[in-house]
């Protein structure tokens, strides 16, 4: 870890320690958690929902606004947490302090007086059941995207092989789908539907959350990972970066789920 990152981490730890002592847990009417694999559109969906005037949100992923949740990059699992899922699924041995998280998140919320709190952390796919137990009226919105495109993104951004990236996609989605089965309030969306039919998809999301879709700023341009555009499907560009050999290896590693969702390499 370089000096700049070390100093940033120490400053964050100091601030979180202060929030733990002084902060108060908020009581929103609803907690909303966005889950999904890396490169699946979760940041885009988060930012769109966060534009609603009744929704409070965090400045970063919730895992960085608390010291109670394990961060993959800090344990050598950058963008591949699902290779070691036991480290992230809460158990009596490693259970986070939910009340402490609430106090810390409350202090970071854009407006803690709003009725809906929004959070997004990729590894929370492993914590869905736990979050549902500890966060009242929790609603989960899960995104799933073409695994070929996701694997390309993980490979390009994290330097993982396409095989490892494909394994992360399949493993994390398996865990997510299994945990979603165990909670009451959940909505599964395909990235491809969100980007091809944004108005229809976002109306479905707002209905699920009991919010007025007309108050969303869905037509504006969004900046995600340094690129600004309207809501649109980026699969074609990702797929074009893959060789035939890459596609073969991805299917070899994650073919079961790719086929189950009818995801194509073209």
5 domain residue, yes or no? no
Higher-pLDDT residue of 155 and 229 is 155
Residue 115 and residue 90: Cα distance in Å, rounded?
A: 27
8 Å CB contact between 206 and 216: yes
How does 132-161 read in b/e, with b if 16+ C-beta sit within 10 Å? bebbeebbbbbbbbbbbbbbbbbbeebebe
Q: What total number of domains does the chain contain?
A: 1
Number of Cβ within 10 Å of residue 174's Cβ equals 16
8 Å CB contact between 186 and 178: no
**Of all helices (H) and strands (E), which one includes residue 123?**
none
CA dihedral of 206, 212, 214, 217, whole degrees rounded to 10: -60
pLDDT band at 20 (very low <50, low <70, confident <90, very high): low
Residue 171: per-residue pLDDT: 98
Residue 261: per-residue pLDDT: 98
60 domain residue, yes or no? yes
| Domain interval for residue 250 | 29-260
> Per residue in 34-68, pLDDT tens?
999 999 999 999 999 999 999 999 999 999 999 99
Residue 26: per-residue pLDDT: 87
Using alpha carbons only, give the angle 40, 146, 250 rounded to the nearest 5 degrees: 110
1 domain residue, yes or no? no
Q: In whole angstroms, how far apart are CA 237 and each of 13, 85, 208, 234?
A: 39, 30, 31, 6
Q: Is residue 14 over pLDDT 70?
A: no
If you search the block for the tokens 């809906």, which residue do you land on?
Answer: 116
Residue 220: per-residue pLDDT: 82
Domain with 125 in it: what CATH number? 3.40.50.300
Using alpha carbons only, give the angle 35, 40, 41 rounded to the nearest 5 degrees: 85
Q: Is the pTM of this model over 0.75?
A: yes
10 domain residue, yes or no? no
24 domain residue, yes or no? no
11 domain residue, yes or no? no
Which DSSP symbol is given to 184?
S
156 domain residue, yes or no? yes
Residue 194 and residue 47: Cα distance in Å, rounded?
A: 13
> Per residue in 230-254, pLDDT tens?
999 999 999 999 999 999 999 999 9
Residue 228: per-residue pLDDT: 87
13 domain residue, yes or no? no
Reduce the DSSP state of residue 57 to 3 states and report it.
strand
Q: Is residue 13 over pLDDT 70?
A: no
What mean pLDDT value characterizes the chain?
93
């Amino acid at each position: 870890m370089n000096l700049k990152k070390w100093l940033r981490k120490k400053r964050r730890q100091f601030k979180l320690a202060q929030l733990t002592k002084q902060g108060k847990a908020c009581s929103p009417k609803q907690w909303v958690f966005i889950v999904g694999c890396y490169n699946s559109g979760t940041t885009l969906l988060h930012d769109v929902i966060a534009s609603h005037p009744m929704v409070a949100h965090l400045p970063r992923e919730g895992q960085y606004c608390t010291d109670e949740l394990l961060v993959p990059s800090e344990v050598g699992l950058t963008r591949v947490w699902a290779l070691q899922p036991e480290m992230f699924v809460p158990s009596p041995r490693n259970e986070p302090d939910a009340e402490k998280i609430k106090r810390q998140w409350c202090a970071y919320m854009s407006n803690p007086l709003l009725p809906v709190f929004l959070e997004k952390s990729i590894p929370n796919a492993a914590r869905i059941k736990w979050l549902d137990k500890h966060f009242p009226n929790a609603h989960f919105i899960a995104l799933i995207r073409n695994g070929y495109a996701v694997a390309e993104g993980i490979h390009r951004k994290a330097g993982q092989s396409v095989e490892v990236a494909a394994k992360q996609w399949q493993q994390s989605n398996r865990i997510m789908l299994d945990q979603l089965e165990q909670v009451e309030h959940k909505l599964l969306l395909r990235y491809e539907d969100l980007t091809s039919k944004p108005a229809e998809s976002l109306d479905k999301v707002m209905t699920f959350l009991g919010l007025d879709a007309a108050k969303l700023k869905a037509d504006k341009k969004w900046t995600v990972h340094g690129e600004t555009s309207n809501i649109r499907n980026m699969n074609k560009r990702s797929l074009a970066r893959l060789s035939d050999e890459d596609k073969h290896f991805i299917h070899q590693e994650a073919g079961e789920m790719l086929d189950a969702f009818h995801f194509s390499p073209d």
